[in-house]
Structure 1
Amino acid sequence: MKYGYLLDMDGVIYRGSELIPGAKEFIKRLRETDTRFLFLTNNSQRTRRDVAMKLCRMGIEATDRDIFTCSMATARFVAQQKPGGSAYVIGEGGLFNALHLNGYSVVEDNPDYVIVGEGRTMTFEMIEKAVRLVANGARLIATNLDPNCPTEDGIRPGCGAIAAMIESATGKKAFSVGKPSPVMMRAARKQLGLTSEETIMVGDTMETDILGGVGLGYRTVLVMSGGTSREDLDDFAYSPDLVLDSVADILDHPMFKEPSTGKDRKYKQRVPAYTMAQAMVR
């Protein structure tokens, strides 16, 4: 069986602005063996093009075709639920861009949805308005429910913390589209053309990456290069299939050296280095 990979980013590929040792070589080997993969992120601030550029500047070859964000998953979800709809948005460029590309209008009054992402441009006036709109019937969506976001200076409130204020004030629960939601996890798998049995979710967080993979029947790999320690595993009723120090250890592990049946679908993931002219925006 030939596997494909869904790869969390922060804590798996890099920490802050530094690559995790072995990550560059891991991605290079995936490309050399024509192995399917996507980078998954619960950060809704950046567009997929911005994320690809960050990876390239860190030394990892990437285009926006390699990126799948919770903003993309959210925009596609609401566009399927209510095509051509409208939303009041608390968030930044990545979320606005994804909504516009999927035919959604960003409005100040009478929206179909209130959509919450993370960012540093939020004001309390925006929260007040969101509360009033949800109380008046707008449906509440969160790009993810992560309570905090890691930064080089420590943690800051994440999308889940912002959504919690609106939930508490209105009594309405936000529907979340990002990891571990099957909405995002299944969409990413389908984009790669993989079955559940062929999919490996690699992450550093039990509550999002591993939970999402376990829930959909993917193989799961927890790496110790992020925010989880081996001692933390006893706190959870579910377990990853494999615990490794980092992505550098994955391809040489016996679990991923099963012989091919000769029936594997051919798929060419190899792409040229990222250029603005070649990038796809959707």
Structure 2
Amino acid sequence: MDGVIYRGNQLIPGADRFVARLRHDGIPFRFLTNNSQRTRRDVALKLCRLGLEADADDVFTCAMATARFLAHQKPGATAFVIGENGLAAALHHNGVTVVDDDADYVVVGEGRTMTFEMIERAVRLIEKGARLIATNPDATCPTDAGTRPGCGAIVAMLEKATGREAFSVGKPSGVMMRMAQNELGVRAANTVMVGDTMETDILGGVGMGYQTVLVLSGHTKVEQLHRYAYRPDWIVESVDHMPERLFHSVAELVGAA
């Protein structure tokens, strides 16, 4: 959402009008985030404080997707976690027990609480057979103070140390995208992915067969598009510049469903 709905602690101009339009037209939606630090309730509270109408059910996080994935793969699983409250809460909610030893999985999110002792423990657990899971592949995270290492950077260190490749659940993985789509109760052909990052938002949408909208209010700039073999269906300055015909086509699909 950072770069699409807000930047840091500032709402992107027109984002409130965009969300209000979705509600007015009866178009179901979810706010997707590859940040596993906060719970969906925490994210909704931030959006409300920025001036948007939002509740927890409007939010879908990579922590939620990861927890649901693990619960489906191995009911009653155990996990050693490198991450923060949002990830731990999602795991507990889905019946995954957080442990320090004998873990079925090593699950990595982002945050500032990581220590080298945690990395050492994770390496040993992976060597003993724990499977390595990443909540998302993002190598960096934007902050008000600048860029900091993200989940992908931490996971890369574990992959290098163990020779094991992590399975990533968050965008652009179809695992997270399909879960969010199922919550909306819509088909892929009726789904639109709006994002500011080609490597996650747009790639994930293209892979799922969604219509895709790249907004230029965040990570990807128009002069960078030549680097990619795939392209979004629409390119707009921000969510405040969504084409009317896209609203109309989506509303018609919702009505037909």
Query: Do Structure 1 and Structure 2 share a fold, with TM-score over 0.5?
Result: yes
Per-residue CA shift, 1:179-228, capped at 9, x if unaligned? 00000001101110010111000000000000000001000000000011
Shift of 1:256: 3.4
- Give the unaligned 5+ runs of structure 1: 1-8, 266-282
Q: Give the aligned partner of residue 248 of structure 2.
A: 257
For residues 257 and 55 of structure 1, the distance between their equivalents in structure 2, rounded to whole angstroms, comes to 26
Q: Given the alignment, which residue of 120, 129, 134 partners 1:137?
A: 129
SS at match of 1:133: helix
For normalisation by structure 1, the TM-score amounts to 0.89
Matches of residues 201-216 of structure 1 in structure 2 within 5 Å?
201-216=193-208
Where does 1:14-33 land on structure 2 (aligned, <5 Å)? Answer: 14-33=6-25
Q: For residue 160 of structure 2, what is the aligned residue in structure 1?
A: 168
Deviation of 1:86 (Å): 0.3
SS in 2 for 1:260: helix
TM superposition outliers: structure 1 runs of 4+ over 2 Å: 252-265
Separation in structure 1 between the aligned mates of residue 29 and residue 40 of structure 2, nearest angstrom: 15
CA–CA separation in structure 2 for the residues paired with 1:232 and 1:39: 25
In 2, the alpha carbon distance for the partners of 1:32 and 1:261 equals: 15
List runs of 5+ in structure 2 lacking aligned partners.
none
How far residue 29 of structure 1 moved from its aligned partner, in angstroms, is 1.0
Q: How does 1:1-282 map to 2 (within 5 A)?
A: 9-250=1-242, 252-258=243-249, 260=252, 264-265=256-257
CA distance in 1, matches of 2:254, 2:148: 48
State the Cα deviation string for residues 123-161 of structure 1 (Å, max 9, x = none). 001001000100110000000010000011110000000
Aligned equivalents of 1:27, 1:61: Cα separation in 2: 8
CA displacement at 1:262 relative to structure 2: 8.8
Q: Determine the C-alpha separation between the residues in 1 that align with 2:78 and 2:106.
A: 9
> SS at 1:212's partner residue?
helix
* Paired amino acid for 2:187: T
CA separation of 1:164/1:224 partners in 2, compared to 1, >3 Å: closer, same or farther?
A: same
* Count of residues in Structure 1 that have an aligned counterpart in Structure 2: 256
The verdict on how the C-alpha distance between 1:127 and 1:225 changes in structure 2, with shifts beyond 3 A counting, is: same
Structure with the bigger RCO (C-alpha within 8 Å, sep 6+) is 1
Q: Quick one: distance in 1 between partners of 2:113 and 2:67?
A: 20
Instruction: Please give the alpha-carbon distance, in whole angstroms, between the structure 1 residues aligned to 2:175 and 2:254.
Output: 31
Structure with the higher fraction of residues in helix conformation: 2
| Partner amino acid, structure 2, of 1:12 | V
Cα deviation for residue 263 of structure 1 reads 5.3
Deviations 1:3-33 (A, max 9, x none): xxxxxx1100000000001000110111111
1:75-98 Cα distance to aligned partner (Å, 9 max, x none) = 000000000110000000000000
**In structure 1, what residue type is equivalent to 2:114?**
M
Determine what percentage of the aligned residue pairs are the same residue: 64
Deviation at 1:257? 2.4
Q: Over the residues paired in the alignment, what is the CA RMSD in angstroms?
A: 1.2
Match for 2:121: what amino acid? K
Q: Per the alignment, do residues 29 and 165 of structure 1 end up closer, same or farther by CA in structure 2, a change over 3 Å counting?
A: same
